[in-house]
Amino acid sequence: MSGRRVDIAVVGGGLAGGLIALALHRRAPGTPVALIEQGDTLGGNHRWSWFASDLDAEGAALLARFRTTAWDGYEVRFPAYFRTLHTRYNSLSSAEFDAGLRRELPEETVLAGRAVAALDAEGVTLADGERIAARAVIDCRGFVPSAHLQGGWQVFMGRHLRTARPHGIARPIVMDATVEQRGGYRFVYVLPLGADELFVEDTYYQDTPELDRSALSSRIDRYCLQHGFDGEILGGETGVLPVITGGDFAAWQREMAVAGIARAGARGGFVHPLTSYTLPFAVETALAAAEEARLPGDQLAALLDARARRLWRRTRFYRRLGAMLFGAARPEARYRVFEHFYRLHEGLIERFYAARSTAGDKARVLLGRPPVPVSRAIAALARRGAPLQGPPR
């Protein structure tokens, strides 16, 4: 079935794809773009959060028209101490992401509820047979596990609830690691979205991608009961994200490659290997793609692949830390890595999350009493973790 022709087809309407479409529209409003998403809404069912220090002025401007929630500071909690930090923290729900993109983009740009059957350097074939021809195609459909990458997994379940009374939480609790540690590093993440609204997420750094919905839901129940957060459940989400500790990135890129097609988002390797954060890299990539949008499709693909390789080299230190985290003598002791880290200077912590740590930062993270015994850390660095195979969700 013949269809329309666009300049650029973006496949996958999640964070990376949506921001690329938005940046392209802002850069050249008349350029025909198709943003193709198999789900009915853009962004799926997620919540993205970031520190103000993660983005430069141009990146912040790209997100400025989305309706977000922001706080002047956040907390962390560990068995040894509680700490309040003052970096501005922001959060965006997928519902507001969808609404914002539909406000900003021309109506004909968004093709939601449209599954993709195949894509090639000259366009996209939809599951219903419609063909969308394009000068360039960017694949943003999500991370694909591979034996070429090693590491572990970040597994989480979040719950959005309206409390029966004001909850009294003033700022986000980005890590509450005072909870019982189970089979890996566990913490609870709490966002006060309003005086009587909370988002509570139970998160695990673990060796396998298994997500036990019943167990995680019960643990959220207990956490909420312990803290008096009773009320109505408004929604929830789950996720399984890679924590990359090593591998052959060039081999992974070759495995993923489709001639002439660019890749972005986690599918292209644009992810913080330890925190699994994607938002700062999605913003940077969207702006870069918009800047070079007139390149032929194969050249745009080469450009993004080169950016991904530079990011891989730049984030070697975080993969090393991940190997140390997963190499802890006892999984239940892994929290000590972050307990040690969060005692450091706030500027260092900001640069860490933005993947811009200096040489001095790296030395300070590794100085002092090692959070992992040295012999175990060396073995972990040599092993780099298990292959990242299995379903990412």
CB 280 within 8 A of CB 250: no
pLDDT of residue 391: 59
pLDDT tens per residue across span 117-147? 999 999 999 999 999 999 999 999 989 899 9
Report CA torsion sign: 81, 86, 87, 89: positive
Q: At what angle do helices 346-353 and 359-366 cross, to 10 degrees?
A: 110
Q: Which domains does the chain have, with CATH numbers?
A: 5-68+92-147+246-313 (3.50.50.60), 150-244 (3.30.9.10), 316-382 (no CATH)
Give dist(CA 18, CA 12) in Å, integer: 8
Give dist(CA 106, CA 115) in Å, integer: 20
pLDDT of residue 329: 61
Amino acid at 100: G
pLDDT tens per residue across span 94-120? 999 999 999 999 999 999 999 999 999
Those residues of the chain that have pLDDT short of 70 are 1-2, 328-329, 368-385, 389-393
Q: Please give the C-alpha separations between residue 84 and each of 75, 167, 336, in angstroms, as whole numbers.
A: 4, 18, 18
What tokens were used for 212? 């036990």
Rounded to 5 degrees, what angle do the CA atoms 342, 348, 351 make? 115
Q: What is the DSSP string of 124-164?
A: EEETTS-EEEEEEEEE------EEEEEEEEEEEEEEEEEES
pLDDT of residue 377: 46
